[in-house]
Structure 1
Amino acid sequence: MIRFLALMTRPLMQRLLVCLALAVLPWSARAFSLNDLQLQLRATPIVRGHFVQQKFLRSLPQPLTSRGDFTLATGRGLLWLLRSPIAQDLRISADGIARRGPDGTWQALPQHTGAGRENRLFLSVLAGDTSGLRENFDLTLTGDAGAWQLMLQPRSVLLRQIFDNIQINGGKLVDRIELREVQGDRSVLQMTDAVAADALTPEEQRAFAD
């Protein structure tokens, strides 16, 4: 009798394990969502690091390359400190772009039509602001919290005339952004040695305050 019950129980246990596995699979697929990504990136409101930016133009055999340092502060903006091929300090925010002059003061740069939207887009991409990105793009997120990829497909007619797609890769922080343009040019931005910080330095505070 005991042996009979054991034989009857084994298939039931197998079916139970299969059901549990099927129940876990959809949960695993949903485990890392766009909201999770946004929360993960917002957990580090201040990020510093180095960057290498390459612009691949169809008309040039070699990419245009620039290097420098950056500080991204949620709610403040981005300090983009070029070190090569020229030295130039830029501050990018939702209000526009400013350049630091030789005397240390910041001067707003003229903006062409649509520049404000482009600035907000750039900041949203770097900060992983998925709610802001959803306004203009269809988002597809793959991977997990340790290694993810976010694909942006433009929705509006205007953006579809500029971008084919934008691909963002990262882990705890964003580490690579690739912008593919409709005409075939593309830009690749890589952030290296990025670290989270709890507070701005005095110099950074002055730069964002001016």
Structure 2
Amino acid sequence: MRRFLRGIAVGIALLGASLAQAFDLEQLGAQLAKPAVVRGPFIQEKHLRALPQPLTSRGQFVLSRAHGLLWQLHSPLQQDYRIGDRGIARRTPQGWQPQPGQDVAAQQSRLFLAVLRGDHAGLADDFELQLSGDAEAWQLSLTPRSRLLQQIFSAIHIQGGALVERIELAETQGDSTLLRLPQSQVDDSLSEAERLALAP
């Protein structure tokens, strides 16, 4: 009987240790928020029901923990966007112009910023979050809570390791967007050009 009880106690202790070591949203948020700057290329595929092939765009992004996200589209056209706590702006010959905040592109941009920053608390305001995996290979599924987001997205799936590597957005109308970040690099500071571009 003692041996049996000791076995149960050991089993409970091991279970408690494994639960304590489980990878959770707090750890994921801390992991993604740690770098001061993350930059790299992106490949975005827009899958439309009416088209047999996806619309593919490519460019570079720069994420600053302090200043926000610089999204530089290189092809099929060139266009720069700045996404931060104050909203979304597009670069024009006259300077940065604020963009409407309620369209699909705006919602996607805010989502990208929150995901890349590891802002799970902000995401939890609008989505139910389900995390699986560990620090080296994790998957996060988001289900919209608000009626507005439910009208846009049916589900969002994010994958990564040390950094976010893939974001897939399924829209309610049947279209989808796949964003891949294949070669992101961590840095301690912005370049002068990046700092000026992200300055409010």
* TM-score where L is the length of structure 1: 0.84
Report matched runs for 1:103-114 at 5 Å.
106-111=95-100, 113=102
| 1:128-207 correspondence runs (5 A) | 128-207=118-197
- Matched to 1:61, the amino acid is P
Q: Distance in 1 between matches of 2:11 and 2:37?
A: 40
Question: 2:68 corresponds to which residue?
Answer: 77
Out of 111, 128, 133, the position equivalent to 1:121 is 111
Counterpart of 2:32 in structure 1: which amino acid?
Answer: L
- Residue in 2 aligned with 1:3? none
The AA in structure 2 aligned to 1:58 is R
1:159 deviates by 1.2
For the 8 Å contact 1:98–1:106, the answer to whether it is kept is no
Matching of residue 39 in structure 1 with residue 23 in structure 2: no
Report the Cα offset of residue 21 of structure 1.
Answer: 4.1
- The answer for unaligned runs of 5 or more in structure 1 is 1-7
- Which of 70, 81, 89 is matched with 1:90 structurally? 81
Alignment partner of 2:74: what SS? strand
> What one-letter code is carried by the residue in structure 1 that aligns with 2:78?
A
Q: Partners of 1:161 and 1:35 in 2: how far apart?
A: 28
Deviation, structure 1 residue 117: 7.2
The aligned counterpart of 1:5 is: none
**2-structure distance, mates of 1:123, 1:87:** 20
Larger Rg: 1
> Given the superposition, is the C-alpha separation of residues 186 and 133 from structure 1 closer, same or farther in structure 2, using an over 3 Å criterion?
same
Gaps of 5+ in 2: none
In the alignment of these two chains, the number of paired residues is 198
Conserved 8 A contact 1:96-1:108:
no
Paired residues of 1:96 and 1:115 also in contact (CA < 8 A) = no
1:96–1:116 CA contact under 8 A, matched in 2: no
Please, which moves more after superposition, 73-82 or 22-31? 22-31
Map of 2:51 onto structure 1: 60
Equivalent in the alignment of 1:51 = 42
Distance (whole Å) between structure 2 residues aligned to residue 157 and residue 181 of structure 1 = 13
With CA pairs under 8 Å and 6+ residues apart, which has the higher RCO, 1 or 2? 2
Alpha-carbon distance change, 157 to 26 in structure 1, aligned in 2, over 3 angstroms: farther
- In percent, how many aligned pairs have the same letter? 48
Show CA shifts across 1:100-159 (max 9, x none): 335xx6321431546797243331122221010010111000000000001101111221
Structure 1 residues 164 and 27: CA distance shift in structure 2, 3 A = farther
Aligned to 1:193, what secondary structure does the other structure show? coil
- When the two chains are superposed, the root-mean-square deviation of aligned CA atoms in Å is 2.4
